[in-house]
Each structure stands twice: as structure tokens, then as C-alpha cells.
Amino acid sequence: MADTLVDATIIIDATNNHGRAVRYVDELVLAGDACTHAQAVAEVIAVTRDAKELAKLQKFVRRFRVLHMSESDSQSALACLARFHLSHDLDFGDCLIGTTALRLNLPVATINDRHFRLFTGLKVIRPY
């Protein structure tokens, strides 16, 4: 395998002990190919309900290399948002993740592939 940017959908499933998500993440981590985006981490933090859940998430995310957006990613994400928000209900977070993945030539692993398929040239993996 090669580095794969894991989206929040899979992180949420794995931290909730969804068997296929856990196995997929474990394989990526074992191969040294697990990365995620700071935006995906923020999305998952935003849905935690208490300190125990937050601590569990933070421990889990330490297994990933966390990527950050560049200024060009931000600019591209804003352009993408203006182009697709109204027609496809695309949000800024997915735009950031998609533009960063394109810049780094990384595939995005997600369960919600509908939005990421809008990015021309982006490889999208739906692992389960």
C-alpha cells in the first residue's frame, strides 16, 4: 500500500469498533501508510460527547500522521466550495481534505465518497 488519507467517516467507525473499519485502519497503520487531515480530526472532535470519548479519540488519532493544509490548499478549497456548494451541498471541510489530497497525490479513504468524487484526478477508496 501507499499513504492513504483516511477521512472522518472511517475514523468514527473505527473508534466505534466497526469491525471492517478497525481492520482497514489496522492494516494501514501496520504498513505505515495511515494519515489523516487535521480537518478530519476536527470533524471527529466536534462530535465527541464527553471527555472520555475525546481522550479515546485522541489516543486513536496518534496512530496517524496528521496532514495540514497549505495556503494553496485553502485557496483551492475556497474555489471548490464556490463551484460545488450550491449544486452538490459540498462543505468546506471536504474541500480542504480533497485539495490537500490532490496536492500530495494521495488517495482518500471514505465511506461518504459522493463529495470526493467531484475532485477531478482524486483517487477515492471506499474500503467497505
Q: Return the pLDDT at 2.
A: 83
Q: Residues with Cβ < 8 Å from 64, sequence gap 6 or more?
A: 6, 29, 34, 35, 36
Q: What is the CATH number of the domain that holds 58?
A: 3.40.50.1010
Query: Is residue 127 very low, low, confident or very high in pLDDT (cuts 50, 70, 90)?
Result: very high
pTM check: above 0.85: yes
Edge-to-edge strands, sheet with 65-67: 65-67, 34-37, 4-6, 108-109, 124-125
Q: Provide the residue range defining the domain that includes 116.
A: 4-125
Domains of the chain: total: 1
Cell numbers linked to 8: 472522518
Query: Is residue 15 very low, low, confident or very high in pLDDT (cuts 50, 70, 90)?
Result: very high
pLDDT in tens, 26-79: 999 999 999 999 999 999 999 999 999 999 999 999 999 999 999 999 999 999
Selection from 61, 77, 69 nearest residue 116 by Cα: 77
Q: Return the pLDDT at 1.
A: 58
Q: Residues with Cβ < 8 Å from 78, sequence gap 6 or more?
A: 92, 95
Q: Residues with Cβ < 8 Å from 70, sequence gap 6 or more?
A: 100, 103
